[in-house]
Chains A and B, each alone.
Chain A
Amino acid sequence: AQSVAQPEDQVNVAEGNPLTVKCTYSVSGNPYLFWYVQYPNRGLQFLLKYITGDNLVKGSYGFEAEFNKSQTSFHLKKPSALVSDSALYFCAVRDNAGNNRKLIWGLGTSLAVNP
């Protein structure tokens, strides 16, 4: 069965330090992978996606993510965190095997960047 795990409910990082928000997945076929961000009292916003091609994907606001097929991971990274990056981050995966084409969402990771 498809699943997405975000193993950390919360990540704390100091401003200026690199940040990583983890995501692992389980699918039958090849995955489409997505990261979204949710600022307080707002809807989700798309950050980046991996469909095929280069394993390192660059997205909005200086974020990037690396697709690692052997580790079934798609961790979100940023070299230097900003206080304004504090938000809730969601990883999502679509399994391309079979006829089930739904998007499965992780439970979210709350990122707090401390000044």
Chain B
Amino acid sequence: DSGVTQTPKHLITATGQRVTLRCSPRSGDLSVYWYQQSLDQGLQFLIQYYNGEERAKGNILERFSAQQFPDLHSELNLSSLELGDSALYFCASSVSETYTGELFFGEGSRLTVL
């Protein structure tokens, strides 16, 4: 158990809809990262927050947004969903702001868009 909790584990929705994925980081970790994993594109970094502030942005679509709350949990909002958004979405956390140590990954949220 990594200590990172993601909900929901599975989500099935229709095109055009909006969903919210939630992540609770490991106790004491200030950084939260969101990743998208699909068969054709591998593991894609979306966005990083550190102690409530956005720190780095990757290949995140404008239809997607995220935030980190004062209690350090994070939410990833996906809107106007398309079939191609179907993927496994991972949250990871770490103590540091930069990549010097281990990232702890949650079990992921599997999104299916029909």
A43 and B99 within 8 A (CB): no
Given contacts A49-B102, A94-B99, A101-B56, contact A43 B42 (CB under 8 A): no
Tell me the minimal C-beta distance from B110 to chain A in angstroms.
9
> Using a CB-CB cutoff of 8 Å, which residues 86-115 of chain A contact chain B?
90, 94, 101-103, 105-108
Q: Does B16 contact A (CB under 8 A)?
A: no
Given contacts A43-B90, A43-B106, A43-B108, contact A103 B45 (CB under 8 A): yes
Q: Which residue of B lies closest to A41 (CB)?
A: B107
Interface residues contributed by chain A, number (CB under 8 Å):
20
Neighbouring B residues of A101 by C-beta, 8 Å: 56, 98-99
Neighbouring B residues of A94 by C-beta, 8 Å: 98-99
Interface residues contributed by chain B, number (CB under 8 Å):
20
Q: Does A10 contact B (CB under 8 A)?
A: no
A34, A44, A46, A108 pick with most chain B CB within 10 angstroms:
A44
Tell me the minimal C-beta distance from B67 to chain A in angstroms.
20
Tell me the minimal C-beta distance from B93 to chain A in angstroms.
11
A51, A101, A108 pick with most chain B CB within 10 angstroms:
A101
- B contact set with A: CB distance below 8 Å: 2, 4, 42-43, 45, 56, 58, 90, 92, 98-108
Q: What would be 17 A-B contacts, judged by CB atoms less than 8 Å apart?
A: A36-B103, A36-B105, A43-B4, A43-B92, A43-B107, A43-B108, A44-B90, A44-B105, A46-B103, A49-B101, A49-B102, A51-B100, A90-B43, A102-B56, A107-B43, A108-B42, A108-B43
